[in-house]
Amino acid sequence: MSNKLFLAAVLLSALCGQAEAASLIANGAWNTFDVDDLSSASGNLEWIDLDGNALNFDFTLTESAYLKVVDGGFAGDRFSVYDNGVLLDQTSAVANTYPGSIGLNFDTAFVSDIFSKGLFLLGAGSHSITGLLSQSALDDSNLPINATVGAVSLTAVPLPAAAWLYLTGTALMGLVSRRRKANSLEQAS
């Protein structure tokens, strides 16, 4: 079976099964998910909650935000990340370093080159983020582990420093213009 057919089958089974929704807030906090084909209600590799149900992260944005996805389980895992059922992309490809694990320290995992990660810019609107383990770390026998822990985080897009400079400059020019106009009116009287 090709990778595309496999991923489509896994996604379809995840959508057809019981799914749990978790809300994300653009505060930079990590929200964990698990992957485990033995614990998953569907027996597949979708992101799941602790009960084994498919997990999606739902939220509505009024402005753009960054979605971070990171693996904290065994180095060598990789995820396909979906928004409303449409593939955003995969997280970074990394070397298998089993049994290296970062556990639940997702900040450390995100800045490490050892663990797979992705950064996605999302626009305003309603989002439902789901994912699949598209590549598993391999154990000592060179067999896929098919179990890991990861996390997602949502952070508002900061206004660039250049925009702040532009706004400050515009305000300053407005103030200067107002003073010149006031001086011109005084001189004309």
CATH code for the domain in which residue 69 is found: 2.60.120.10
Statement to judge: residues 40 and 102 lie in one domain: yes
Q: Which of 34, 129, 40 is nearest to 80 (CA)?
A: 129
Spans of the chain below 50 pLDDT: 1-17, 162
Give the pLDDT confidence score for residue 52 in this predicted structure.
93
The answer to whether the CB of 118 falls within 8 A of the CB of 109 is no
Give the pLDDT confidence score for residue 5 in this predicted structure.
39
Statement to judge: residues 133 and 167 lie in one domain: no
Q: What is the DSSP letter of 113?
A: S
Statement to judge: residues 97 and 13 lie in one domain: yes
Scored b (16 or more CB within 10 A) or e, 40-73 reads bbbebbbbbbeebbbbbbebebeeebbbbbbbbb
Single-letter amino acid, residue 56: N
Statement to judge: residues 42 and 117 lie in one domain: yes
Statement to judge: residues 83 and 112 lie in one domain: yes
Statement to judge: residues 131 and 182 lie in one domain: no
Give the pLDDT confidence score for residue 20 in this predicted structure.
74
The sign one gets for the Cα dihedral 175, 177, 180, 182 is negative
The answer to whether the CB of 17 falls within 8 A of the CB of 47 is no
Query: Tokens for 189?
Result: 């009287």
Statement to judge: residues 24 and 79 lie in one domain: yes
Give the pLDDT confidence score for residue 189 in this predicted structure.
63
Helices and strands: H and E segment counts in the chain: 3, 9
- What is the rounded CA–CA span in Å between residue 189 and residue 105? 70
Q: Which of 45, 41, 53, 42 is nearest to 73 (CA)?
A: 45
CA distances from 63 to 3, 73, 85, 165, 176 (A): 34, 31, 21, 21, 32
pTM here is 0.75
Scored b (16 or more CB within 10 A) or e, 153-172 reads bbeeeeeeeeeeeeeeeeee
Range of 170's domain?
160-189
Give the pLDDT confidence score for residue 179 in this predicted structure.
64
Quote the number of domains for the chain.
Answer: 2
Write the pLDDT tens digit of every residue in 125-161.
Answer: 999 999 999 999 999 999 999 999 999 999 998 766 5
